[in-house]
Structure 1
Amino acid sequence: MSAPDASPPPRRRLLPLAIAGTVLCALLCCVGGAGAFMLTTLGGDDPTLTLAADACGQGDPLPPDGAMPRMEDYGPSQLRNAAVIIAVGRQMQVPPRGWVIAIATAIQESRLSNLPYLGAGNDHDSLGLFQQRPSQGWGTPEQVRDPAYAARKFYEHLVLIDGWQHLALTDAAQRVQRSAFPDAYAKHEPAATAIVNRLADGAARSLGTAVTPRCAAADEITASGWTLPVHAKVGSGFRTADRPAHNGVDLIIGRGADIHAAASGRVLVARCDPDHRGQRSCDVDGYPGKGGCGWFVDILHAGGVITRYCHMVRAPFVRPGQQVQAGEVIGKVGTSGNSSGPHLHFEVHLNGVRANSGAVNPVPFMRDRGVPLGGSA
């Protein structure tokens, strides 16, 4: 890693640190309505993995030795390092969004392992969880291999970045790390979110900007980086018995209401979807059976998640390739395309698959990120 106060040449990374398996798509699987949920993809059926549904970061992230939860792809020593990162962030009064950024960074740099000097395989003199370089002013070799010291140094530089809490995770991490691979951090955001939720009682679902964690309100951006596209009741659900091909949910709200990007990302598509006859007639109200999304937008987020926003009243405010921030207004609610009245049809797709096969139910997906559709906590 580069010097904290200089702009050195791009670094050459020699250690590929991809996460095995599909941690990037690990969802918090609901086991009760307003009750509790369990990280079934990140652990077994151990009841100690269960969290209260309203937990938002009040728990102790550092359990006694031997009491770390089981999480696929991460051993006890890696999770303890993550817990130290969280504990230092809490001690420094860094909001939980910073914990997610720090852990995602450490996953990329070391896979949460406190790396020693690796000889020929080393990136210069990079050491520790964040691959900080003693020769570039980050501390002595002994200091940067102390997880608490390394985490503190990372946070000290993070909080000096103007507006860091509102940046995409990969941008905030890169401004601290100055890696030769500035986009590498983004893919670890879902895993970091899951780890923070597991070790800190759902803190990634708390308000991203609050020093003291509290559950985010409907219009706020959570520490996981998500917010509601609209604050509205859920109408037609995901792949119901009477609509098995309905690959999203309908959020019932009046014409002209703002539609917000649910998380930071890159716009993939922003256009008029042709109807069943191949016509692009999105500037007029649609009707049932017409076919198509009308005016719609697809956004690619960290971890290969795609969100879709259909039936806008006019052309979207964004264009393909544009970077958007969580909460940014991308269009207005309407009833274009296959629609019987004003509403937002909202979809979530995993693994970068825009086709129907990639769609998952947005209701549990959004609830587990602290922004339940319908506005209820």
Structure 2
Amino acid sequence: MSDETSGAGSPRRSLRLGALAAALTATLALLCCTGGAGAFFLTELGGDSDDPLTNSMSGCSPDHKVPDVTGSMPRTFGYGERQMRNAAIIIKVGQDMKVPARGWVIAIATAIQESGLKNYANSTVPESLAIPHEAVGSDHDSVGLFQQRPGWGTVAQRMNPSYSARKFYEKLVKVPDWEKRSLTNAAQMVQISAFPDAYAKHEETASRIVDLLAGGAARTVRLPEGNVCDAASKGQIAASGWTAPIPGGVGSGFRTSQRPSHNGVDIAAPKGVLIRAASAGRVIVSRCDPDNAGRLTCDVDGWPNKGGCGWFVDILHAGGHITRYCHLVERPDVRVGQYVKAGQVIGKVGSSGNSSGPHLHFEVHVRSDRSSAGAIDPVPFMRERGAPLKGAA
């Protein structure tokens, strides 16, 4: 494998954070790290091949906007007014039931997969019922937004968007730890679908719909004292399904003029701080990255221009997103092939590899591409998902 190295960066600005920061200042001032591990492309990872959608919403209300299900609806994200109205109904039912916003994202993604947000009828629906619908399907005896079968209720009930959404939520909230599960896993526990992996590709669109119709709700974090916007960290999960991997301020940024090959950002933290999976997904790399001389020397602190990511982890998420976590202090806590929940601890901050001080080098890649061609700036990506990297503008 060919490793990319970014060279030493400019001195890090001192941070005044009390006695702890004073002790760390000398180390952080010299902090630098590798620009990425593995300049190669993995096509076997799967995931959506499309570019990630960019969240265009501004502002976020912790109390959420209540959609007007009777008013005019935007035609956007490839959906017409009637489909967006169905999405608004799904959100409104979730709000009325006091289901957290993460549930709305899961419900809408499920309905997108099952029906394209269209209220389906089929040959089992008696013409005498004359139930309003947007399409006619032929999937056995399944009807409605969630393609629910007879055990969920009568035909008339299942073709009522409010009823079908309520039945979905009633089963969802009974799934243990559903808010931290991957969207696919949570949805499958409710739907028992023949194609369980299909839900994941709609998570990004579902989050955008929730943000549009409910005032940025996909970027909120549910706390005992009330919802908080744009603050997912320390294992707290935004409704979008994302969290910041560690608390701490961003220092060296993404592909700066001084470090054009720096394919991620450096987040300052003392050695031993827990690193958490930024979102649910499957571990695709968990190992020691060789240095420039081809040596596996991750069990000792690194140094500038040594090369390599040290101990590192790559996780594949819904939509073909990949997150990378470099310079762990010791062998990661996760193994290749393991599925992890959002916020699950995957290792600890260290200084292995091309590094001159403890920190986390964090990358985000798109299109299932682990090479530098797939890397994007993590700062706006995480901010748009309600999990901003602390200290990032």
Instruction: Give the alignment's TM-score, normalised by structure 2.
Output: 0.80
Deviates more, 1:202-211 or 1:355-364: 202-211
Letter in 2 for 1:319: R
Contact 2:180 2:280 (C-alpha < 8 Å) held by counterparts? no
What is the distance in 2 between the residues matched to 1:57 and 1:306? 31
- Is the contact made by 2:321 and 2:367 (CA closer than 8 Å) also made in structure 1? yes
CA contact (8 A) 2:289 2:353 kept: yes
Mapped pair 1:159 → 2:166: no
The residue number in structure 1 matching 2:83 is: 78
| Partner deviation per Cα, 1:215-256 (whole Å, 9 max, x = no partner) | 245321111111111101101000111111101000011111
Identity of aligned residues (%): 59
Counterpart residue number, 1:113: 118
1:220-239 → structure 2 map (5 Å cutoff): 220-239=236-255
Query: Residues 21-64 of structure 1, C-alpha deviation per residue, up to 9 Å, x if partnerless?
Result: 94x71122xxxxxxxxxx2xxxxxxxxxx532x43452122265
1:350 aligns with 2:356: no
Matched-pair contact (CA < 8 Å) for 1:259–1:331? yes
Aligned ranges 1:127-276 → 2 under 5 Å: 127-134=143-150, 137-208=151-222, 213-215=227-229, 216-219=231-234, 220-276=236-292
**More deviation in 73-82 or 304-313?**
73-82
Task: Indicate the structure (1 or 2) with the bigger Cα radius of gyration.
Answer: 2
**Which of the residues 51, 56, 59 maps onto 2:58?**
51
Contact 1:95 1:211 in 2 (8 A): no
1:310 aligns with 2:326: yes
Distance in 1 (CA, whole Å) between partners of 2:137 and 2:82 is 22
Determine which structure has greater relative contact order: mean sequence separation of CA pairs < 8 Å that are 6+ residues apart, divided by chain length.
2
Structure 1 unaligned blocks of 5 or more: 1-19, 29-38, 40-49
8 A contact 2:90–2:162 mirrored in 1: yes
- The answer for unaligned runs of 5 or more in structure 2 is 1-47, 125-135
Aligned length: 333
Q: TM-score, normalised by structure 1?
A: 0.83
Aligned partner of residue 379 in structure 2, secondary structure: helix
Q: Is the 2:351–2:359 Cα contact (8 Å) retained in structure 1? A: yes
Separation in 2, partners of 1:129, 1:190: 19
Alpha carbons 2:312, 2:324 under 8 Å: kept? yes
161-170 or 315-324, larger mean C-alpha shift? 161-170
Cα distance in 2 between the residues matched to 1:21 and 1:325 = 23
Q: Specify the alignment match of 2:54 in structure 1.
A: 27
Q: Are 2:250 and 2:392, in contact at CA under 8 Å, matched by a contact in 1?
A: no
The residue identity in structure 2 corresponding to 1:234 is: V
Q: 1:210 to 1:171 in 2, by over 3 A?
A: farther
Give the secondary structure class of the aligned counterpart of 1:98. helix
Supply the AA of the counterpart residue of 2:387: V
Q: Secondary structure at the match of 2:346?
A: strand
Residues 90/376 of structure 1: CA separation in 2 closer, same or farther (3 Å cut): farther
RMSD: 2.1
What is the SS of the residue equivalent to 1:251?
strand
Residues 1:205 and 1:277: Cα distance change in structure 2 (over 3 Å): same
| Aligned CA distance change for structure 1 residues 210 and 303 (closer, same or farther; 3 Å) | farther
Corresponding residue for residue 71 of structure 2: 65
Change in CA separation of 1:375 and 1:175 when aligned onto 2, cut-off 3 Å: farther
1:299 aligns to 2:315 (yes or no): yes
